[in-house]
A and B are shown apart, each in its own frame.
Chain A
Amino acid sequence: MEEKEFTLIAFSENSIGLLNRLTIIFTRRHLNIESLTVSESAIQGIYKFTVVVKASKTLIEKVVKQIEKVVDVLKAFYLCEDEIIYQEIALYKVPTEAVTRSNEIEALVRKHNARILEITPDYTAIEKTGHKDETQHLFDDMKKFKVMQFTRSGRVAITKARRERLSEYLHKLDTEKLTVERS
């Protein structure tokens, strides 16, 4: 089946080893993670994993179910590109000498909607947010100035849907979850 890029989002408790538990699910199915971002979500104590992965739709559906099955995971779902607004951040370090020599870098910063973070006698740090092809584009344009360092973050994403799925789910848990009676 055709492979597509999916953004998989999981919300979890903050427990040691959880990232490992999640990546095992990908490893076992020979899936490579394109990018991964983990940080605290809008709800305190709940962490959000954003994973970009290329897979078939059938496989990603199964992976999501396996992730949701992990005890400490509250909710997981996958989204296609048209269902999310997403960004990555890239940082570039170029020699300050190259910035002052001409106005080419300044023009690139303007053109790419980037911004300058710090200038020292040795280097100038530039930041750009955007999609991968956009941050790559700026990198390619600046290559001739001998970029000293370049780094790119994983993806962060929000959904286009009106409601937040996690708060919906948490509400449902509070109101509908059955307690289990054990002998």
Chain B
Amino acid sequence: MKTKKISGSEAVLLSLLEEGVDTIFGYPGGAIMPVYDLLYDYQDKINHILTRHEQGAAHAAQGYARVSGKVGVCMVTSGPGATNLTTGLADAMLDSTPIICISGQVHAPLLGSDAFQETDVMGFSMPITKWNIQVTKAEDIPGAIAKAFFIATTGRPGPVMIDITKDAQFAEFDYSYERCNDVRSYVPRPILQMEYVEKAADLINNAKKPMALVGQGVILSGAEKEMLAFLEKAGIPAAWTLLGASSIPTDHPLNVGMLGMHGNYGPNIKTNECDLLIALGMRFDDRVTGKVDTYGTLAKIVHFEIDPAEVNKNVIADVAVIADIKETLEAILPLINQNKRDEWLNQFKIAYQYEYDKVIKNDLHPEKEELTMGEVVRRVNERMNGEAICITDVGQHQMIASRYFKFKNTRSLVTSGGLGTMGFGLPAAFGAQTGAPDKTVVLFVGDGGIQMTIQELGTIAQNKAKIKIILLNNNFLGMVRQWQQLFFDKRYSSTELVNPDFITIAKGFGIDGNTVETRDKLDAAIDEMFNFDGPFLLEVKVEKEGNVFPMVAAGASVSDVRLD
């Protein structure tokens, strides 16, 4: 093997290049300066994007990873640089997003001495990473990075943290790189057991009223095609989790909508009419199941899942196939009987019509004077026809966008699901645009969430990322306000905001923008935004006290889904 003597810092960059990295989101500082110094020499190979806050770097890496399927890479300094990644790591952990964060650390002899900007990176990142490692010797850098990429991307993906002491960055050693393809104690691909596939096929073939629950596992495994083949052959209606959105096109006849707390009426109400629930790469989150004792009461449960720890965690499966979902779907397809379940599917259509009359019509085609979030999403759909990537922040607009955004292509919704991180949207949109430069990226964000990471407008402006930012402004922390209205006697404790002039702020960053308050101006404003060559902030002043329905209240049964 060819080796050459280089510094630990250069080894970091060469190792990243070996893994195909061409983009890093980060923020320099004392303990990572040797690597940043080398980045100066590698500008033609690695595009380092300076965010305005390390949290922004983490969320940008997530957005990048989610749309591209590649690993998002972050680089930060020690101490506050590393701790500022915490929210992004926790978010990526819950949403199975492959990101690798590299932090500088104080010189190894100073570890544990409370040196300047020293923090226990291993300790704090342990519960929120799939794997982490501290490197104190230059020669251990390539191995650590190789292992990090293997672990972050295989099995159920997740975040990895690599903490590198400053002396290891300076030290020179004989560099060579070998990609990692095996870690003895780690099973990235459980072996498919045909016995369970056969049992699952048997349940599916004998089911009268099955429903598929599509999760992000399908996207992470790249099994969208196999899923459709399975659903179409068996004639099974499919509902999706928040993170499973866009894995099945909106217009597909078997797509019956979103699951969960603010999901569609049909899939929620039918959960307790089904005789079989088939979970495809999803984890029965409480936002999906509602009260778990009254979930799927008549149904047997088939669970296709790569992570053994998810099986029987929240819901007990009658049959579980622990394997990569693509492999499972390929194996089960020949065992599935061709079926059409027109009568059963029709029931979802009836449920949809019911929801349309009670909720959707008023959301999308409101007759009241004030603008609704739903009609803004509808206008974007009319303009983009499913070709855009939708990014959301967290809150009411997130649920409205997920419910109504039209998806044609997979990996088209990037949202913070498990952690529900306000402030995720703006940096994630930037990362998504970087990962999918040829796509139109539309961010829906609320007036609360945008202010949590608003400094990233600077990153967007500096990099001329053509993101279309739609700020749905109701001058409230809307989702909390909705809960206060429904469950806390309208006691609006600390949810009303006195907001800045967002357009002035955007312009201060060099980003163009416009505000729209009336329906007659909405179409033209949306056109202006999309026609503009560059980033654009469109602030839409929407009704102050709008609510998101349907709603399965926290702790309620999916059968008790409320429409008003």
Q: What residues of chain A have their CB less than 8 Å away from a CB belonging to chain B?
A: 12-13, 16-17, 20-21, 24, 28, 61-62, 65-66, 68-69, 71-74, 173, 176-180, 182
Given contacts A28-B127, A71-B151, A182-B154, A13 and B187 within 8 Å (CB-CB) = no
Contact of A69 among B154, B179, B307, B312 (CB under 8 A): B307
Residues of B within 8 A of A62 (CB): 309, 312-313
Given contacts A178-B191, A182-B153, A71 and B309 within 8 Å (CB-CB) = no
Bound: A180/B150 CA distance, A: 9
| Main SS at interface, chain B | loop
Nearest residue (CB) in A for B132 is: A17
Interface residue? B130 (CB, 8 A): yes
Given contacts A13-B184, A73-B185, A176 and B153 within 8 Å (CB-CB) = no
Bound: A173/B182 CA distance, A: 11
| Beta-carbon contact of B126 and A24 below 8 Å | yes
| Beta-carbon contact of A74 and B184 below 8 Å | yes
Residues of A within 8 A of B509 (CB): none
Given contacts A16-B134, A17-B122, A62-B313, A178 and B184 within 8 Å (CB-CB) = no
Given contacts A21-B126, A71-B185, A180-B189, A66 and B154 within 8 Å (CB-CB) = no
| Beta-carbon contact of A173 and B184 below 8 Å | yes
| Beta-carbon contact of A20 and B126 below 8 Å | yes
Residues of A within 8 A of B309 (CB): 62, 65-66, 68-69
Interface residue? B181 (CB, 8 A): yes
Residues of B within 8 A of A72 (CB): 131, 185-186
| Beta-carbon contact of A179 and B181 below 8 Å | yes
A-B contact pairs, 11 of them (CB 8 A): A17-B123, A17-B132, A20-B123, A24-B127, A61-B312, A62-B312, A62-B313, A68-B308, A177-B187, A180-B189, A182-B181
Residues of B within 8 A of A71 (CB): 130-131, 151, 183, 185-186
Residues of B within 8 A of A74 (CB): 184-185
| Beta-carbon contact of A176 and B185 below 8 Å | no
Contact of B182 among A21, A68, A179 (CB under 8 A): A179
Interface residue? B188 (CB, 8 A): yes
Per-residue contact bits, chain B 299-319, to A (CB 8 Å; 1 contact, 0 not): 000000001110111000000
Given contacts A61-B312, A69-B307, A69-B308, A178 and B123 within 8 Å (CB-CB) = no
**A100 nearest CB across to chain B (Å):** 48
Bound: A12/B185 CA distance, A: 7
- Give the residues from 76 to 99 in chain B that come closer than 8 angstroms, CB to CB, to chain A: none
Give the number of A-B contacts (CB < 8 Å): 62
Residues of B within 8 A of A73 (CB): 185
- Give the residues from 316 to 357 in chain B that come closer than 8 angstroms, CB to CB, to chain A: none
> Closest 3 CB pairs between A and B?
A65-B309, A74-B185, A71-B131
Bound: A37/B148 CA distance, A: 29
Bound: A24/B125 CA distance, A: 11
**B367 nearest CB across to chain A (Å):** 49
Residues of A within 8 A of B123 (CB): 17, 20
Nearest residue (CB) in B for A182 is: B153
Bound: A21/B123 CA distance, A: 9
Nearest residue (CB) in A for B156 is: A69
**A11 nearest CB across to chain B (Å):** 9
| Beta-carbon contact of A180 and B185 below 8 Å | no
Bound: A66/B308 CA distance, A: 9
Contact of B185 among A13, A20, A65 (CB under 8 A): A13
**A53 nearest CB across to chain B (Å):** 17
Residue of A69, A71, A73, A74 with most partner-chain B CB within 10 A: A71
17 further A-B contacts with Cβ under 8 Å, apart from A13-B185, A28-B127, A180-B182, are A12-B185, A17-B122, A17-B134, A61-B312, A62-B312, A65-B313, A68-B308, A68-B309, A71-B130, A71-B131, A71-B185, A72-B131, A74-B184, A179-B182, A180-B181, A180-B189, A182-B179
Per-residue contact bits, chain B 119-160, to A (CB 8 Å; 1 contact, 0 not): 000110011001110100000000000000011011000000
Bound: A84/B312 CA distance, A: 26
Residues of B within 8 A of A176 (CB): 191
Bound: A176/B182 CA distance, A: 13
Residues of B within 8 A of A182 (CB): 150, 153-154, 179, 181
Given contacts A24-B126, A65-B308, A69-B308, A180 and B191 within 8 Å (CB-CB) = no
Residue of B181, B184, B185 with most partner-chain A CB within 10 A: B185
Contact of B154 among A17, A28, A180 (CB under 8 A): A180
Per-residue contact bits, chain B 15-34, to A (CB 8 Å; 1 contact, 0 not): 00000000000000000000
Bound: A12/B183 CA distance, A: 12
Residues of B within 8 A of A28 (CB): 127
Bound: A62/B314 CA distance, A: 10
Nearest residue (CB) in A for B128 is: A24
**B169 nearest CB across to chain A (Å):** 19
Bound: A68/B188 CA distance, A: 12
Residues of B within 8 A of A180 (CB): 150, 154, 181-182, 188-189
Bound: A173/B186 CA distance, A: 10
| Beta-carbon contact of A178 and B185 below 8 Å | no
Residues of B within 8 A of A17 (CB): 122-123, 126, 132, 134
Nearest residue (CB) in A for B179 is: A182
**A8 nearest CB across to chain B (Å):** 15
Bound: A61/B310 CA distance, A: 11
- Give the residues from 155 to 196 in chain B that come closer than 8 angstroms, CB to CB, to chain A: 179, 181-189, 191
Residues of B within 8 A of A69 (CB): 307-309
